[in-house]
Amino acid sequence: MKQGNVRESALEVLLKIEKNQAYSHLLLNETIKKAKLNPKDVPLLTEVVYGTIQFQKTIDYYLTPFSKRPLHKLEKWVLILLRLTLYQMVYLDRIPDHAAINEAVQIAKKRGHQGIAGMVNGILRSIQRGELPNPEAIEDPMEQLAVKTSHPVWLISRWSNQYGTEKTAKMAEANLLHPIHTVRLNTLKASKAEVIQSLQNDGIEAKESKNIPESLVILKGSVIPTKAYKKGWITIQDEGSMLVAYALDPKENERVLDACAAPGGKSTHIAERMGNRGEVVSLDIHKHKVGLIEQQAQRLQLTNIHVQTMDARGAEEHFERESFDRILVDAPCSGLGVIQRKPDLKWTKSIEDIHHLSTVQRDILDSVWPLLKAGGRLVYSTCTIDKEENNKVITSFVEERQDAYFDETLMDRLPESFRDCSGTELGMLQLFPGEKGTDGFFISSIMKK
């Protein structure tokens, strides 16, 4: 199989992503199947697609002085072809520049015409011969940091206002790193040693995590085809998400509500920690997603999870008041803590999304609160680092309720390695990208009087 197909496929996927406004593994897998790519080429395709999205702003900054036409006036496919080629030239050492350029010119000829191929060739050859512009020359400090770390300026300014420029720079740099892959051991079904051995038999290298007792770090490979996964011994989950079940700390035979539960990562963890006893009621607004929770519960052989398709904003009308011992609201959010895994989020999310989501988050909290027993605990979590969706939502909620207060024992329940995190306030923990190797993640715990 010619390598050229990898770049052509990358161009196809990136164009589709641009159209759908979302980076998706499904889209990538579909293209891999359709293009009948050699399995050996799949990692390069993934790397080029992911990297081109991740480094888009920096790449555009590099391209700008070499293109006679402003970049936004180029045909979309030409711009994307230039971006993905520059990504290989700048960020991938193992690909010689001339190989990447030749491939780009061939694709331009095939897709466009001689004129476009000439222009692509001209731009890329002059970049090869010349020098890339240095972002240090950018005067505005927000713009400079945005270009260096390939983030939109509004996001860099917003984080700087919320956390200061130094912390913002660290987070933004961390967002460019490859994420750490972890799986959660199903302690009801297997031991750590058994799982590590079984994964090894299937060619997957895994090691114990130092952060969380039931977490394993996957060093290489996909666990989905393995025996350990199929048998329900493990679940793919980031360590930030694993902390939620610690924060909630459900007991056997309790009744727990997981208000925004799909695809079921946290519901299944909670159910496991309850020893497959008691009841976890798992809601999600999307019917097809509720099916995913059921699939996961089945795979993990958990029988204490009961799913319902429901808008949690209306939950109050469907359940008896004060009928749950614990409630989890793992709310829909902007996802700006998981840019390492989903780089498109930084280009597609907006301030309006954040404003809108914070209202939905508050509405969900208002609706489920009456369902919590007196003395019960509610955990509110998101995978974002934006204060408007995190601290603000939960603080205003608590301040407006006579019967709610922040849980001062939250940090005591978390594994020790998280107790020195920088982002802690009473009853709240903000994990930042790059700090503990987790996603950017927010957890808060409140109690009912």
Known binding-site positions for S-adenosyl-L-methionine: 260-266, 284, 311, 330
Cα 442 off chain centre by: 13
Residue 103: partners with Cβ closer than 8 Å, 6 or more residues away: 3, 4, 7, 85
Cα dihedral across residues 240, 434, 224, 52: positive or negative? positive
Which CB atom, from 168 or from 382, has the smaller least distance to ligand SAM? 382
**Piece of the chain touching ligand SAM by CB under 6 A; list 46-54, 57-65, 216-224, 261-269:** 261-269
> Which of these is catalytic: 383, 429, 446, 447?
383
Cα 348 off chain centre by: 14
CA separation (Å) from 46 to 81, 329, 337? 15, 33, 21
Cβ 347 to ligand SAM, closest distance in Å?
20
Which CB atom, from 277 or from 286, has the smaller least distance to ligand SAM? 286
Active site residue 383: yes
Are the C-beta atoms of residues 90 and 150 closer than 8 Å to each other? no
Residue 27: partners with Cβ closer than 8 Å, 6 or more residues away: 13, 16, 17, 20
Asked if 263 interacts with ligand SAM (CB under 6 A), we say yes
Give all strands (DSSP E) within 260-333, no chain letters: 279-284, 305-309, 324-330
**Piece of the chain touching ligand SAM by CB under 6 A; list 92-100, 107-115, 278-286, 434-442:** 278-286
**Piece of the chain touching ligand SAM by CB under 6 A; list 149-157, 169-177, 307-315, 396-404:** 307-315
* Contact with ligand SAM (CB under 6 A) among 48, 199, 243, 262: 262
Which CB atom, from 292 or from 426, has the smaller least distance to ligand SAM? 292
Are the C-beta atoms of residues 221 and 249 closer than 8 Å to each other? no
Query: d(Cα 183, Cα 230) in Å, to the nearest integer?
Result: 13
Asked if 265 interacts with ligand SAM (CB under 6 A), we say yes
* Dihedrals phi, psi of 68, to nearest 5 degrees: -65, -35
* Dihedrals phi, psi of 75, to nearest 5 degrees: -60, 145
Site string for ligand SAM, 324-343 (x = CB under 6 A): ------x-x-----------
Asked if 291 interacts with ligand SAM (CB under 6 A), we say no
**Piece of the chain touching ligand SAM by CB under 6 A; list 28-36, 93-101, 185-193, 256-264:** 256-264
Q: Which residue has the tokens 């002085």?
A: 65
Cβ 355 to ligand SAM, closest distance in Å?
16
Alpha helix ranges (H) inside 386-447: 391-399, 410-413
Which CB atom, from 67 or from 211, has the smaller least distance to ligand SAM? 211
Q: Concatenate the DSSP letters of all residues of 198-253 into one string.
A: HHHHTT-EEEE-SS-TTEEEEEES-STTSHHHHTTSEEE--HHHHHHHHHH---TT
Cβ 390 to ligand SAM, closest distance in Å?
13
Report how many residues bind ligand SAM under the rule CB under 6 A.
Answer: 20
Query: d(Cα 55, Cα 72) in Å, to the nearest integer?
Result: 17
- The tokens for 419 are 């107790």
Cβ 266 to ligand SAM, closest distance in Å?
4
* Contact with ligand SAM (CB under 6 A) among 312, 338, 354, 385: 312
Pick from 120, 114, 122: nearest CA to 78: 120
**Piece of the chain touching ligand SAM by CB under 6 A; list 173-181, 308-316, 384-392, 430-438:** 308-316
Asked if 311 interacts with ligand SAM (CB under 6 A), we say yes
Site string for ligand SAM, 200-239 (x = CB under 6 A): ----------------------------------------
Asked if 415 interacts with ligand SAM (CB under 6 A), we say no
* Contact with ligand SAM (CB under 6 A) among 51, 240, 250, 264: 264
Asked if 104 interacts with ligand SAM (CB under 6 A), we say no
Asked if 281 interacts with ligand SAM (CB under 6 A), we say no
DSSP, res 132: P
What positions carry a catalytic annotation?
383
* Binding region for ligand SAM (CB under 6 A): 241, 259-266, 283-286, 289, 311-313, 330, 332, 364
